[in-house]
Structure 1
Amino acid sequence: MLKQLFGVARINFLSLTLVCIALAAGASWQAGHPLSPGVLMLVTAIGLCAHISVNALNEYLDFKSGLDFLTNRTPFSGGSGTLVTHPGAAHLALLLGIVSMLLVIGGGLYLSYQLNWQPLLIGIPGVLLIYGYTRHINRWPLLCLLAPGIGFGIFMTLGSYWVLAGNISAAAWLLAMIITLLVSNLLLLNQFPDAEADRQVGRRHLPIVIGRRHSASVYTLLLLLSYLVLILGVLSGILPWQCLLALLSLALVAKLLPGLFRFADKPQQLQPYLGMNVLLCHLYPLLLLTGLLWAGPV
């Protein structure tokens, strides 16, 4: 049973949550706010529960809709396949999704009672996003593009900073914007191999609506925009110059983009570039975090 629960939770993808919260914690520390280990642990637990909930509900709903039986699964797209192999575990996936969501709600209410009610302005929409992502958001192309990024960038990264620092800074907004763009791109590229199967169950994301090649152009635009935000943030003095360390990730981008356009319409050959995209979504924020730690508290 534990193996099935780990499968529907997609435990190998939870590292992205840890990276986002670490970035928020690093930014809060660099801004001169002392970190409370207890609050940081609780924020991390809430973030992991939110990620697990959206993953488990997505697995359950994709299994019930029949989508999981149509996709050509890759290590980065098409779900985990756990429920296709173990259909009897469907009720466990649903239970995991619901319990994880309730833990998010309970943890958020506890934090608001102990610290400040204002982060609920981010937390409540975040819970609604968890609930509605698979069932509703996937039918609206622009919302489907931005929702994952908003979830990890605004709700998770910015929300974590707000709880840890007690306020929101311009630097926190810029970091959240960068994460929003990166994670929106992460899910956009992962939709490429699933486009035909997704179309059959009524989904309408960008690779379905405008095609993979045009979606690759959207990916490039969002990625370049993330670097523009970084550079403008440093030039304006909002981010320390040490954050330019994140530009080292451009070496990975230089390999990723040519392959993306070359194999945009050949999903089977796109898999190495899906992996590079996952790596980029971890490397870029970790380099930002390294820059913040290098800069030290103000």
Structure 2
Amino acid sequence: MFLTLSKHPKHLREGSVLKYLIALRPFSFVASAFPVTVGAMLAEDFSLTRYILSLIAAVLLHAGVNTTNDYFDYKSGVDTKESLGSSGLLVSGKITLKEELFLSVLCYIASVVLGIFLIKMSGLALLWIGLVGLVLGYAYTGHPFYLKYRALGMFLVFILMGPLMVLGAYYVQTGRFSVEALFVSVPIGIATDLILLANEIRDSEYDRKSGIKTLPILIGDLASSYLYAVLVGLIYVFVFYLVVTGVLKSIALVSLVAFFLYAGVMRQLFQKSTGKKSAREIAAVDKMSALAEMILFVSMILGLMG
């Protein structure tokens, strides 16, 4: 995805394995591990083999999207030395466009190969989920779609990291879909969306200069900050519903701890939106949102255990 949470180390040797690992942005993979794990654990008969294969396939797809995102963001001038996003390797000259493109293609191919195995194991319906995932993942920033630049990034992230991955992982385990899995996918997709939204509010000035459109550019930072708050509330509406209906055990309410992180992000976003703080002064809002998502992840896993 395409979710950006950190910069690269200052000292990287040319051609090092570490350089390529950082280019994949592994710190963001919790956003794909979360839905796949929850979707698999919803199944009554859990297969560890199918889970591991689906997790690796999802992570490889995510890595392909990350590298595609960096590739096209750099080519289009969105990522610069002044911007706060991306792995930072292209703008610093520590990796070439050809290397970035090669990594992206390699990840997509490996994901497809694993996907074929999973289709044979679980059923043909997974083919359509996989195709939608590949197309939307590439279209996020890929030529000629550039959907991220048309203010559709949040919609794509929600679909990809919420319903698509949860339902896909559940289908791999069971060979069918379920309404429960769909409901569980909603707070997961929203939590990942919040990372992107915090990122876009923080980076709205950079994005505006680059000539791209994001939701904060269309509706303003202040309205987007209010949207962030509403989405946080929706997460807990769904968590409470899932606990009340017995899909999750009451221990899932531990996720309320994450609310304090979300509240801290909301405060900073409103401060930036009203001119009280600059983008660099709230640079950690996406990291804080990601940490909150991780707490939600752990609490939902606990709520599915036993």
TM-score, scaled to structure 2: 0.86
Out of 254, 261, 268, the position equivalent to 1:259 is 268
CA displacement at 1:114 relative to structure 2: 2.4
SS at match of 1:191: helix
Name the structure 2 match of 1:100: 107
Out of 71, 80, 92, the position equivalent to 2:87 is 80
CA displacement at 1:137 relative to structure 2: 0.9
Task: Return the alpha-carbon distance in structure 1 between the equivalents of residues 92 and 81 of structure 2.
Answer: 14
Name the structure 2 match of 1:13: 28
Matched residue type, 2:285:
Y
Indicate if the aligned counterparts of 1:245 and 1:287 stay in contact, CA closer than 8 A: yes
Task: Return the alpha-carbon distance in structure 1 between the equivalents of residues 83 and 117 of structure 2.
Answer: 42
Instruction: List, as ranges, runs of 4+ consecutive aligned residues in structure 1 with deviation greater than 4 Å.
Output: none
CA displacement at 1:41 relative to structure 2: 1.6
Name the structure 2 match of 1:45: 56
Q: Which range is displaced more, 151-160 or 264-273?
A: 264-273
Name the structure 1 match of 2:150: 140
Task: Return the alpha-carbon distance in structure 2 between the equivalents of residues 260 and 88 of structure 1.
Answer: 32
Task: Return the alpha-carbon distance in structure 2 between the equivalents of residues 259 and 213 of structure 1.
Answer: 11
Indicate if the aligned counterparts of 1:147 and 1:184 stay in contact, CA closer than 8 A: no
Out of 57, 60, 65, the position equivalent to 2:71 is 60
Matched residue type, 2:120:
Y
Matched residue type, 2:28:
F
Change (3 A) 1:153 1:104: same
Indicate if the aligned counterparts of 2:196 and 2:286 stay in contact, CA closer than 8 A: no
Name the structure 1 match of 2:11: none
C-alpha deviations, 1:85-108, integer Å up to 9, x for none? 226521111011112112222221
- Structure 1 gap ranges (5+): none
Task: Return the alpha-carbon distance in structure 1 between the equivalents of residues 26 and 254 of structure 2.
Answer: 29
CA displacement at 1:70 relative to structure 2: 5.8
Task: Return the alpha-carbon distance in structure 2 between the equivalents of residues 138 and 195 of structure 1.
Answer: 13
C-alpha deviations, 1:129-165, integer Å up to 9, x for none? 1110013211332x22221121111222221122123
SS at match of 1:68: coil
Matched residue type, 1:11:
P
Change (3 A) 1:140 1:64: closer
Task: Return the alpha-carbon distance in structure 2 between the equivalents of residues 88 and 179 of structure 1.
Answer: 33
Matched residue type, 1:41:
I
Name the structure 1 match of 2:288: 276
Alignment of 1:90-169 (within 5 A): 90-135=97-142, 136-141=146-151, 143-169=152-178
Task: Return the alpha-carbon distance in structure 1 between the equivalents of residues 253 and 92 of structure 2.
Answer: 45
SS at match of 2:62: helix
Residues paired across the two proteins, number: 285
Q: Which range is displaced more, 124-133 or 102-111?
A: 102-111
Instruction: Please give the root-mean-square deviation of Cα atoms over the aligned residues, in Å.
Output: 1.9
Indicate if the aligned counterparts of 1:24 and 1:160 stay in contact, CA closer than 8 A: yes
Identity %: 26
CA displacement at 1:39 relative to structure 2: 1.4
SS at match of 1:184: helix
C-alpha deviations, 1:21-60, integer Å up to 9, x for none? 22223222xxx22x22221221111011011000111111
CA displacement at 1:237 relative to structure 2: 3.6
Matched residue type, 1:184:
D
Task: Return the alpha-carbon distance in structure 2 between the equivalents of residues 204 and 138 of structure 1.
Answer: 8
Task: Return the alpha-carbon distance in structure 2 between the equivalents of residues 247 and 290 of structure 1.
Answer: 14
Indicate if the aligned counterparts of 2:240 and 2:253 stay in contact, CA closer than 8 A: yes
1:287 aligns with 2:299: yes
Alignment of 1:182-261 (within 5 A): 182-261=191-270
TM-score, scaled to structure 1: 0.88
SS at match of 2:212: coil
CA displacement at 1:66 relative to structure 2: 2.0
Indicate if the aligned counterparts of 1:46 and 1:104 stay in contact, CA closer than 8 A: yes
Name the structure 1 match of 2:41: 26
Indicate if the aligned counterparts of 2:257 and 2:295 stay in contact, CA closer than 8 A: no
